[in-house]
Amino acid sequence: MAGWMTRGMQVLLLATVAMTARAETAWQFDLTPAAIKPEIEAAVKPWRASDDKRGKQPLHRDEEIAVDAVAAIFEALKAMGYYDPQVQLRRDERRWHLHVAAGEPVRVHELKLEWLGEVGGDQRFQPPVFPMAEGDILHQGHYEDFKQQVADRALERGYFDGRWLRHDIAIDLQQRRADIDLSYDSGPRYRFGEVRFLDLAGHPLTGLDARWLESLTPFKPDDYISSRKLFQFQKNLLASRYFADVRVTLKRDEADGLVVPVEVRADNRDPNKMSIGLGYATDVGPRVTLEWQRHLLNSDGHGIEASTELSRVRQQGELKYSIPWTNPVEDTLQFVLGLQRDDIDDTITHQVVVGAQRVIQPARGWQITYGVRVSDERFERDSGEHGDQLLLVPGVSFTRLTSRGGLDPRSGLRQTYQIEGTHPALFSDAEYILLRAGLRWLDTFADRHMLLARLDAGAILSPDFDEVPPTVRFYAGGDNSVRGYDYRSLSPHNAAGDSVGGQYLAAGSLEYNWRWRPTWRPAVFIDAGNSFNTHWQPLELGAGVGLRWISPVGPVRLDIASAISEPGKPLRLHLTLGSPL
């Protein structure tokens, strides 16, 4: 090792510096082998940055840059297994020139890796693969990373007494070989103890029955400790929406032998939630949505939600009462009351809906919603045609969303499939089966390029389609369908020219976004879609440009779309707030 230090000082003395004007400079690398470039670039990054900031901070003298940078290069080479390199650093009028010949590396000759303690019998403990095999170049950075990964995984599995009994690297510089000897003793594995639920002031938590708190706990006392289960515990409590803040802590200082109690501190002081949404489109004008939620009405975990949407073409309100069934997060029973007035192009409808549904939404997998609703619908068309229908409609839907990126997802896939129907035998004034499917796909490429695709399809099977209510039928057009066309304007028409809705639906969209700034993305898109009856109709086309602003509450989308298939290709403006999925 002393010989290495001597050679290092000799190389440092060989570093030459050309004193030039204080202009911004670049670095030129001549490295052998080429594979060392990332580590060498990282080693000299502080001095490259100081060059780039000349005039903004005091300058290093060039001699100091040479000495410090070369020392950092030697440390980086040593970590990569090169102990006898040749390094030259000089500067001319325009740039720094760095020449590195790493020399012959030290290679791993013998590797011993031993696991002791209970971890040896833990089949679910998967230690990281050691990053070097016999014959590989010694890389001390990878060696240290491996040791840290082992310690981290042991803690995640509850091995709090784990330690390295041996962690040695014996280096023979003459033979260019290294012998690695590692022995890890995990010790015993700890277990979960009692779970204490407290409020933020440290008092026993009140407001929710203990059986629901227990149903949200993914482990039982005496189970082996797992950080994954602790994280899932906190996630379950937050997902229940009973609490504004949750902190889950292992009280290791209160351990009784190998049993560690768990403390939960939760804040349920703010049970009321209010939200407001705004939107605008040329065809419907301004749109306002309001929502109020109180997720914890009583100790049985009941909750209530009220929402309303107001626009020129639609006014609706909904009241939903929720009761936990087997789990407050994954399995609930909901009772719904809804009122709606809808101006569908040439048709005005009034609808009252009362229903009950069970919603099963596991942490992973498909959300399944099945239930029944009673609908009383009245409609009147501009031509004078009117109707009044009472329906009892059972149905089921399947939804699955996978996404990455939170409020502004970078990738994801949403799938929705729905089937519902009714029959005169169910005390209904119509007979039909409705089938519908929807897909939303999103992905980001090379960090800046985002593609979004959307597909919607539907069919209504009925022996007498004329009896199917207007709100059940299919329409296309609008900001969530074919942009550039009036809201729900794409549909078949009757003899009087009224838009009456279609028996089938086909619509799709392809959109490209470019990440111009971290919170701004210009976009281009093309939409196609239509609704029709027994005979296929050509799809109407819409295309345009848009701008996306990534606000603190989610993406705001501004689109200017042209109805390509319409005479004159009119333009319409669409402004919406929310995730593209």
25 has pLDDT over 70: no
How far apart CA 101 and CA 91 sit, in angstroms, is: 18
- Is the model more confident about 119 or about 176? 176
The pLDDT, as a whole number, for residue 282 is 61
Q: Tell me, what's the pLDDT at 59? A: 45
> How far, in whole angstroms, is CA 272 from its chain's centroid?
26
As a whole number of angstroms, the distance between CA 282 and CA 313 comes to 12
Alpha helices, DSSP H, located in 123-259? 140-156, 210-215, 227-239
Mean pLDDT, range 71-100, rounded to an integer: 89
Q: Which two tokens stand for residue 459?
A: 């069919």
Task: Give the residue-averaged pLDDT of 308-314.
Answer: 87
Q: Indicate whether 524 pLDDT > 70.
A: yes
Supply the pLDDT for residue 56. 41
Q: Say which CATH class 272-577 falls into.
A: mainly beta
Is residue 387 within 8 Å of 558, Cβ to Cβ?
no
pLDDT above 70 for 20: no
- What percentage of the chain exceeds 70 in pLDDT? 91
For residue 438, pLDDT beyond 90:
yes
Confidence of residue 145 (pLDDT cuts 50, 70, 90): very high
What integer is the mean pLDDT of 426-454?
94
The residue among 430, 427, 416, 425 whose CA lies nearest residue 480 is 416
* pLDDT confidence of residue 11: 40
Q: What is the mean pLDDT of the chain?
A: 87
Q: Return phi, psi of residue 64, to 5°.
A: -65, -40
Report d(CA 287, CA 485) in Å as an integer: 17
Mean pLDDT, residues 452-469 taken together = 94
Sheet of 95-101: strand order equals: 26-32, 95-101, 86-91
Provide the 3-class DSSP secondary structure of residue 76: helix
**Residue 179 amino acid letter:** D
E strands, 33-70, where?
none
Q: What is the pLDDT of residue 347?
A: 81
What pLDDT, on the 0 to 100 scale, is given for residue 529?
A: 95
For residue 562, give both structure tokens.
């042209």
pLDDT(526) > 50: yes
Q: Which residue has the tokens 């995984």?
A: 153
Q: What percent of the chain has pLDDT over 90?
A: 58
Strands 285-294 and 272-281, how do they pair?
Answer: antiparallel
Structure tokens belonging to residue 311: 């626009």
Q: Is the dihedral of CA 210, 211, 212, 216 positive or negative?
A: positive
CB atoms within 10 A of CB 1: 7
Model confidence at 193, pLDDT cuts 50, 70, 90, reads very high
What is the pLDDT, as a whole number, of residue 24? 41
Q: Tens of pLDDT along 257-309?
A: 999 999 999 987 667 788 887 776 666 678 888 999 998 888 899 999 999 98
Is 220 in a helix, a strand, or coil?
coil
pLDDT of residue 459: 96
What's 107-185's CATH class? alpha beta
Average pLDDT in the 532-558 region?
89
Mapped onto helix, strand or coil, the DSSP state of residue 34 is helix
CA distance 532 to 265: 56
* Residue position matching structure tokens 């042991």: 154
Residue in the block written with tokens 């570093």: 15
- How far out from the chain centre does Cα 343 lie? 36
Mean pLDDT value of segment 156-165: 93
How would DSSP label each residue in 317-354? EEEEEEEEEEETTTEEEEEEEEEEEEEETTEEEEEEEE
The predicted structure's pLDDT at residue 229 = 93
- Other beta carbons less than 10 A from residue 165's beta carbon: 12
According to CATH, what is the number of the domain 2-101?
3.10.20.310
CA distance 527 to 514: 18
Q: How confident is the model at residue 6 (pLDDT cuts 50, 70, 90)?
A: very low
Query: Could you count the other beta carbons within 10 Å of the beta carbon of residue 538?
Result: 9
Band of pLDDT at residue 50, cut at 50, 70 and 90 = low
Query: What is the C-alpha separation between 225 and 113, in angstroms, rounded?
Result: 25
Homologous superfamily in CATH for domain 191-267: membrane protein fhac (3.10.20.310)
Q: 413, 435 in Cβ contact below 8 A?
A: no
Q: What is the residue type of 210?
A: A
Q: Lowest-pLDDT range, 91-95, 172-176, 483-487?
A: 91-95
Token pair listed for 214? 């227990």
Amino acid at residue number 247: R
Distance CA 509, CA 82 (A): 56
Buried b (16+ CB within 10 A) or exposed e, 111-126: beeebebbbeebeebe
Segments of the chain assigned to CATH 2.40.160.50: 272-577
User: Quick one: CA torsion of 166, 171, 175, 181, rounded to 10 degrees?
Assistant: 10
- Mean per-residue pLDDT, 324-330: 90
> Could you give the residue range(s) of every CATH 3.10.20.310 domain in the chain?
2-101, 107-185, 191-267
